[in-house]
Amino acid sequence: MNGVRISGLGSAKPENLVSNTDLSKFVDTSDEWITTRTGIKSRYISSGETAVELAVDAAKVAISDANVNPSEIDLIIVATISPDQMMPSTACCVQSIIGAKNATAFDISAACSGFVFASKIAVDAIRIGSAKKALVIGAEILSKSIDWTDRNTCVLFGDGAGAVIYEKSDVNKIINIYTGSDGTLGQVLTLDHTPINNCLVTTDLSTSYLKMDGREVYKFATSVVPLCINKVLEGTDYSLSSIKKFILHQANERILNSVAKKLGIDDKLLFKNLFEYGNTSAASIPIALDDAKSSLCKGDIIILAGFGGGLTWGSILFEW
């Protein structure tokens, strides 16, 4: 089995930063409510930037950081639940623009866990020798799927993209990846149904938006993230006390703090950038990793963990 390491990171965001106060001008909310219930102070919202554009911008930074030639990349996976279109995939569009002509490219859908799921596919492919250099991107323009009159959801999400290059390595740095799903709980977090509308059936095709039972998702998140963290450590030489930084899905600061409390870890070990970005779904973990990199030291043992629609969850244990 081949070793795998992270060799490059990048991220990109839309130009427009929308503050809580900006939102309170058109929806019945306040900076005080959003800050105390979520920790979010602002989010980047597309004023025209597409998922492909952000994915390409993040990918270019990661490629340059890894010092690889796009033609060396043999796998591109984009995790997204807000692609610009279903076909061609976001990954194929990225492939074309960056000139990664030797890559197999496709998208996956696992909501906010999408980056972890895509990373698992890429890392497994490198381990078994079917790829050498993989570009994994989380890219979302969720703002187009939000009901901007629904204060329960519109204050939470933001747009962005994050990219990671995984490559074959003599020394293995990706220690373990854990993933899981429970489709029976899927209805607590949903987005866009495509009803059957064909030569036999006529259906109302009115737009549908992201819908969420916030309390149920909160309960799920605060139980599944500690589980993800414990599971990814199982069977390895590492324990909670080995971890230098926990870079978790940036959905809600209260969720992050509750995870720290449940695990009995110092909340200073949690990386947080949700104040600025809000919840960027599949882009959240790779953007956070890119933002955190200046505070990481060579050899640090890091855990990434996410949860989201599906329901889905997953974690990555790696050495920086």
**Is the CB of residue 76 less than 8 Å from the CB of residue 95?**
yes
Q: Which is nearer to ligand UT7, 180 or 214 (CB)?
A: 214
Query: Which of the following is catalytic: 154, 228, 249, 252?
Result: 249
Q: Does 144 contact ligand UT7 by CB under 6 A? A: no
Query: Which of the following is catalytic: 93, 112, 154, 228?
Result: 112
Can you tell me the distance from the alpha carbon of 315 to that of 308, in angstroms, rounded to the nearest whole number? Answer: 12
Residues touching ligand UT7: how many (CB under 6 A)? 19
Q: Which is nearer to ligand UT7, 95 or 258 (CB)?
A: 258
Does 297 qualify as catalytic in the annotation?
no
Q: Which is nearer to ligand UT7, 77 or 111 (CB)?
A: 111
Q: Does 215 contact ligand UT7 by CB under 6 A? A: yes
Looking up tokens 């859908």 gives 109
Mode of pairing for the β-strands spanning 42-45 and 104-108: unpaired
At residue 72, what are phi and psi to the nearest 5 degrees?
Answer: -80, -15
At residue 189, what are phi and psi to the nearest 5 degrees?
Answer: -150, 105
Least separation in angstroms between CB 306 and ligand UT7: 8
Can you tell me the distance from the alpha carbon of 152 to that of 251, in angstroms, rounded to the nearest whole number? Answer: 13
Q: Which two tokens stand for residue 281?
A: 């779904």
| Region from 56-64, 127-135, 216-224, 227-235 binding ligand UT7, contact rule CB under 6 A | 216-224
The DSSP code for 270 is B
Q: Does 29 contact ligand UT7 by CB under 6 A? A: yes
Q: Which is nearer to ligand UT7, 115 or 166 (CB)?
A: 115
Could you give the angle at which helices 284-292 and 114-128 cross, rounded to 10 degrees? 80
Residue from 4, 112, 229, 243 binding ligand UT7 (CB under 6 A): 112
| Region from 51-59, 217-225, 239-247, 285-293 binding ligand UT7, contact rule CB under 6 A | 217-225
Q: Does 218 contact ligand UT7 by CB under 6 A? A: yes
Residue from 66, 217, 233, 283 binding ligand UT7 (CB under 6 A): 217
Residue whose C-alpha is closest to residue 102's, from 131, 125, 59 = 131
Q: Does 152 contact ligand UT7 by CB under 6 A? A: yes
- 271-300 mask for ligand UT7 (x: CB under 6 A)? --------x---------------------
Q: Please report the beta strands in the chain, taking only residues with DSSP state E, as ranges in sequence order.
A: 3-12, 16-19, 42-45, 75-79, 104-108, 133-140, 160-169, 174-181, 189-190, 211-212, 243-248, 301-308, 312-319
| Residues making contact with ligand UT7 (CB under 6 A) | 29, 33-34, 37-38, 112, 151-152, 155, 212, 214-215, 217-218, 221, 251-252, 279, 308
